[in-house]
A and B are shown apart, each in its own frame.
Chain A
Amino acid sequence: GAGVSQSPSNKVTEKGKDVELRCDPISGHTALYWYRQSLGQGLEFLIYFQGNSAPDKSGLPSDRFSAERTGGSVSTLTIQRTQQEDSAVYLCASSPGTGSTEAFFGQGTRLTVV
């Protein structure tokens, strides 16, 4: 597609359930990022993938959060045993990679844990 695509756009889940959020980056982009944005707040870095290198997971808030990127393209962010404080907008971005740091963001997935 022409831009970064995220699905679902909205997700309501019950506390304790697992959720999977999907990100389709721009074709050919080697870098992929996940950020979290709580209401009225800035973007909180979660995880960064660059090509075939080991991902930088330093921003993941707990071991309930994990992410993978298959074939250097699509990425899935998984939150296990969701808590109410996990409610936020989860944003994915991709970038051409080394030499170009402009990031292209998707529309985000609004996660609500009830």
Chain B
Amino acid sequence: SQKIEQNSEALNIQEGKTATLTCNYTNYSPAYLQWYRQDPGRGPVFLLLIRENEKEKRKERLKVTFDTTLKQSLFHITASQPADSATYLCALGSFNKFYFGSGTKLNVKP
């Protein structure tokens, strides 16, 4: 079955720096990959989607890359702010069905 790995250790960075989160997967060939943000006690909120034929996607301070050869996606937040502190989840999918990683907690310190 598919395996999706995100760093279980929290990422601590200083405000203003770029945060980079990693999502690796095996035993799967997703048609697309999504990133979600989850705050404590809340449901995940969609951030970005990138398809298998796309290398990079940007939205404001967010950038996602998708390397289907390495089976890896990188999620970048530039000029990070304390308000960016949350857990970030990647999700891999095909045909409108998708599977989530366990998420990485990001702490942005002022």
Q: Is the CB of B42 within 8 A of A95?
A: no
Shortest A56–chain B CB gap in Å is: 6
Give chain B's interface secondary structure class: strand
Interface footprint category on B: 20 to 34
Using known A-B contacts A101-B34, A101-B49, determine if residue A91 contacts B99 with beta carbons closer than 8 Å. Answer: no
Q: Is the CB of B97 within 8 A of A95?
A: no
The verdict on B89 contacting chain A, using a C-beta distance below 8 Å, is yes
Count of chain A residues with a beta carbon within 8 Å of a chain B beta carbon: 25
Residue of A nearest to B47 (CB): A102
- Which residues 92-114 of A have a CB within 8 angstroms of B? 93, 95, 97-98, 101-108
Give chain A's interface secondary structure class: strand
Q: Is the CB of B99 within 8 A of A107?
A: no
Chain B 94-107 near chain A by CB (<8 Å), digits 1 or 0: 00111111110000
Segment of A14-22, A41-49, A70-78 in the binding face: A41-49
- Seen from chain A, the residues whose Cβ lies within 8 Å of a Cβ on chain B are 4, 31, 33, 35, 41-45, 48, 50, 56, 91, 93, 95, 97-98, 101-108
